[in-house]
């Protein structure tokens, strides 16, 4: 293998490219990123960068070694696996011997094409546009009470805005389960957020511009309307490639898609496990996938998924997926700090310092 192409421009792509060098790969590594900015991390975009506390520049990921050919503003538009060739947006072919797919996801939008007014938050540009709008606003309506929507709500409260969050489910239930979700819901209410659950879902109101939403007969609106209703895996460029797509590109536990192709991060769906759209998983999958591409005999990602969130003064860390597991079997409370464990394979902390490794061990312990 002489030439490895890495398609993507964020944490999974950068980790894979640098890991190939760590593992001693001396051939050409070319990273193709659709974004024009140097690779950056998205994690602070809903937190300190949105509030203005941290700068855009602070999100930059550590620069890649000069030996990696980083091509910014370069979008892959199609893939021919037989010819081992990617085509980029100016029509140029990029040949490869090995390929890492790390194209992540993009924000899902609710409004139809041509309707203005719906803000989303996925990129630095989205963050800058939203921050600018918030600076002129008194109120914000957040559609979607998942991790991202609730983080945006929290940041908007620190900016002094009136905040309403609307979702078809109670906040965070689908991702954290009832106990942890309640901790954050209580904190959000204490911070003055209005939470609305609309089991049937909201209906957008407006024609050319989004004016608000119909929530079971109530019209809700605000100076700024932002939706945080999940992301769509950015795998359109793989349509027609013959690779298996199922809400992402399907991989085995080592990220392998084919002999000469691997995938990692938010674009990947691991067979039997699913998609794990969180930062730490993107890093770990990228390393394992790079190893697999080089033919290293390493184990697949076997650790429980890990993610964290910070909102309303509450820091939650989660190993495994507690959402479907009901009530935890163990809850250890010490003031405002908590440690929870589900014997079916999850553990979590609230405002509690514990190394990630330990939390995962706790989640896996039977």
Ligand X SMILES: Cc1cc2nc3c(=O)[nH]c(=O)nc-3n(C[C@H](O)[C@H](O)[C@H](O)COP(=O)(O)OP(=O)(O)OC[C@H]3O[C@@H](n4cnc5c(N)ncnc54)[C@H](O)[C@@H]3O)c2cc1C
Q: Tell me which of 84, 119, 122, 341 binds ligand X, using CB under 6 A.
A: 122
Q: Tell me which of 118, 167, 266, 284 binds ligand X, using CB under 6 A.
A: 266
Shortest distance (Å) from residue 8 CB to ligand X: 4
Structure tokens at 193: 């957020």
Q: Which of 33-41, 156-164, 239-247, 290-298 is the region at the interface with ligand X (rule: CB under 6 A)?
A: 33-41
Phi, psi of 265 (to 5 degrees): 85, -155
Binding of residue 288 to ligand X (CB under 6 A): no
Integer CA distances (angstroms), 235 to 39, 231, 245, 265, in order:
19, 12, 8, 12
The residues pairing with 244 across neighbouring beta strands, listed in sequence order, are: none
Shortest distance (Å) from residue 124 CB to ligand X: 10
Q: How many positions of this chain bind ligand X (CB under 6 A)?
A: 37
The residues pairing with 339 across neighbouring beta strands, listed in sequence order, are: 332, 349
Annotate each residue in 225-264 with x if it binds ligand X (CB under 6 A) or - if it does not, as one string.
---------x--x---------------------------
Q: Tell me which of 35, 133, 211, 252 binds ligand X, using CB under 6 A.
A: 35
Binding of residue 10 to ligand X (CB under 6 A): yes
- Please list, in sequence order, all residues whose beta carbon lies within 8 angstroms of the beta carbon of residue 112, skipping any fewer than 6 positions away: none
Shortest distance (Å) from residue 214 CB to ligand X: 27
Cα separation, 208 vs 113, in Å, equals 10
Binding of residue 119 to ligand X (CB under 6 A): no
Binding of residue 7 to ligand X (CB under 6 A): yes
Q: Specify the residue, 34 or 288, whose C-beta has the smaller distance to ligand X.
A: 34
Binding of residue 265 to ligand X (CB under 6 A): yes
Binding of residue 150 to ligand X (CB under 6 A): no
Shortest distance (Å) from residue 366 CB to ligand X: 25
Angle at the Cα of 89 from the Cα atoms of 84 and 92, rounded to 5 degrees = 50
Q: How would you classify the pairing of strands 314-319 and 306-311?
A: antiparallel
- Please list, in sequence order, all residues whose beta carbon lies within 8 angstroms of the beta carbon of residue 78, skipping any fewer than 6 positions away: 86, 87, 237, 240, 241
Cα separation, 22 vs 131, in Å, equals 38
Q: Tell me which of 43, 128, 129, 354 binds ligand X, using CB under 6 A.
A: 43
Shortest distance (Å) from residue 102 CB to ligand X: 5
Binding of residue 45 to ligand X (CB under 6 A): yes
Shortest distance (Å) from residue 217 CB to ligand X: 32
Shortest distance (Å) from residue 171 CB to ligand X: 16
Exposed e or buried b per residue across 170-185, where buried means at least 16 C-beta atoms within 10 angstroms of its C-beta: ebbbbbbbbbbbebbb
Q: How far is CA 226 from the centre of its chain?
A: 17
Q: Assess contact for 64 and 18: CB atoms under 8 A.
A: yes
Residues forming contacts to ligand X in the complex (CB under 6 A) are 7-13, 32-35, 42-43, 45-46, 75-76, 102-105, 121-122, 148, 234, 237, 265-267, 277-280, 282, 307-309
């Amino acid at each position: 293998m002489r030439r490895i192409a890495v398609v993507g421009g964020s944490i999974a792509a950068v980790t894979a490219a640098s890991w190939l060098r760590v593992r001693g790969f001396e051939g050409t590594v070319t990273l193709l990123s659709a974004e024009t900015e140097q690779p950056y991390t998205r994690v602070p975009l809903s937190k300190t960068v949105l509030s203005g506390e941290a700068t855009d520049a602070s999100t930059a990921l550590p620069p890649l070694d000069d030996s990696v050919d980083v091509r910014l503003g370069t979008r892959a538009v199609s893939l021919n696996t037989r010819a081992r060739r990617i085509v980029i947006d100016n029509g140029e072919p990029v040949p490869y011997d090995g390929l890492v797919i790390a194209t992540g996801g993009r924000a899902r939008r609710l409004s139809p094409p041509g309707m203005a007014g719906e803000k989303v938050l996925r990129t630095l540009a989205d963050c800058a546009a939203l921050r600018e709008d918030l600076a002129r606003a008194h109120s914000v309506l957040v559609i979607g009470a998942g991790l991202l929507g609730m983080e945006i709500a929290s940041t908007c409260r620190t900016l002094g805005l009136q905040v309403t969050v609307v979702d078809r489910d109670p906040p965070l239930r689908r991702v954290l389960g009832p106990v942890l979700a309640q901790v954050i819901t209580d904190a959000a209410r204490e911070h003055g957020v209005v939470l609305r659950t609309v089991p049937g879902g909201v209906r957008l109101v407006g024609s050319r511009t989004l004016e608000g939403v119909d929530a079971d007969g109530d019209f809700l609106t605000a100076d700024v309307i932002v939706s945080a209703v999940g992301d769509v895996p950015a795998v359109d460029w793989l349509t027609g490639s013959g690779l298996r797509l199922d809400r992402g590109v399907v991989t085995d536990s080592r990220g392998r898609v084919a002999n000469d192709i691997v995938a990692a991060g938010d674009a990947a769906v691991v067979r039997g496990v699913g998609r794990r759209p969180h930062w730490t998983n993107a890093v770990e999958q990228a390393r394992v996938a790079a190893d697999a591409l080089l033919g290293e005999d390493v184990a697949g990602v076997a650790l429980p998924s890990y993610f964290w969130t910070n909102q309303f003064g509450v820091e939650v860390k989660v190993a495994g997926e507690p959402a479907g597991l009901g009530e935890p079997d163990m809850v250890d409370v010490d003031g405002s700090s908590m440690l929870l464990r589900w014997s079916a394979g999850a553990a979590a902390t609230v405002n509690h310092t514990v190394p990630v490794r330990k939390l995962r061990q706790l989640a896996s312990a039977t």
